[in-house]
Structure 1
């Protein structure tokens, strides 16, 4: 609902909220790291992100509500910071980095946890969204592959942090 509300507000403001996306290396726009996931360019952009986020969040919630929120904050902050530091000169908006982070976490967690539950979740995610792997490549003009790539990397990092703690390595 928050994503839809922000989109409606953005439409009412003539798209002015787009300026609150991530603008790489612009020190005055550091806050875009936190606001970009909630801003979308069109209804189709919003709908695609809501569907992916809803499905992956629902699957993630099979693990833990608390871990979902912790992972989400980590992915948004770390992935967004990497886009801010290394992204190409454009305004990066949308929840896709968050989605890619949840996606990669759910897959990689099976490696670290080595449980039947995490393996089953990983297989479900690969079955439903295995093709997302191609989203980390610069394949389409106007699509922030950087958000996809760095969101996925943030999900992997978070999975490693959580997984090594469970294995007693951290």
Structure 2
């Protein structure tokens, strides 16, 4: 077991989100600029983000290593919140939803590659079949969630009050672009 086998960055960021929520800093221009991706609008918001972030974050961190994961998590978290403001298609928001959607975008493509590779060598009589089915279920869930985000953004579905749909969509696109960049650089299997 190496340091990269333990999702320490995921754990540290999750604890940090919880600590910032508990400290409940006053929202000022400076605190918002520095802490917006880690601040949440209530316990439900925090728990929803932590659930997705810890599951996908741990998987992505193990896949890529802690240093790359830390860098990408920090960049994606801020870009997902601030790009909509800079380009005028969203408003101020807070929370790690943009980061979780970036992990979702990356995971959808990475799991699709993994799933199709496993189908080629699948032996239904072993545990591989169950594992592949599990990957398929996660893939379907993430894809439906991503599709719902797209529908909310374009107006096919209503935008729920208090949900930063623009940050969600930005994160989703960033995660997919990140996978594409890694695919070009490292190849499809190692993206």
Structure-2-length-normalised TM-score:
0.66
Aligned to 1:69: 70
Give the greater-gyration-radius structure (CA): 2
Equivalent-residue separation in structure 1 for 2:62 and 2:18 (angstroms): 24
Matching of residues 29-48 of structure 1 within 5 Å: 32=33, 35-48=35-48
**RMSD across aligned positions (CA):** 2.9
Query: How many pairs align?
Result: 151
Where in structure 2 are the equivalents of 1:1-170 lying within 5 Å?
1-10=15-24, 13=25, 16-17=26-27, 20-21=31-32, 32=33, 35-66=35-66, 67-87=68-88, 90-109=91-110, 116=117, 123=136, 125-133=138-146, 134-136=148-150, 137-138=152-153, 139-167=159-187
1:110 is displaced (CA, Å) by: 5.4
Secondary structure class of the residue paired with 1:141:
coil
Alpha carbons of structure 1 residues 115 and 161: separation in structure 2 relative to 1, 3 Å: farther
SS at match of 1:35: helix
* Stretches of structure 1 lacking an aligned partner (at least 5 in a row): 22-31
Note the residue ranges of structure 2 that are not aligned, 5 or more in a row: 1-14, 119-131, 154-158
Q: Is the 8 A contact 2:115 2:135 kept in 1?
A: no
Give distance in 2, aligned partners of 1:49 and 1:90: 19
> CA shift at 1:124, angstroms?
5.4
Please report how far the alpha carbon of residue 116 of structure 1 lies from its aligned counterpart in structure 2 after TM superposition.
3.1
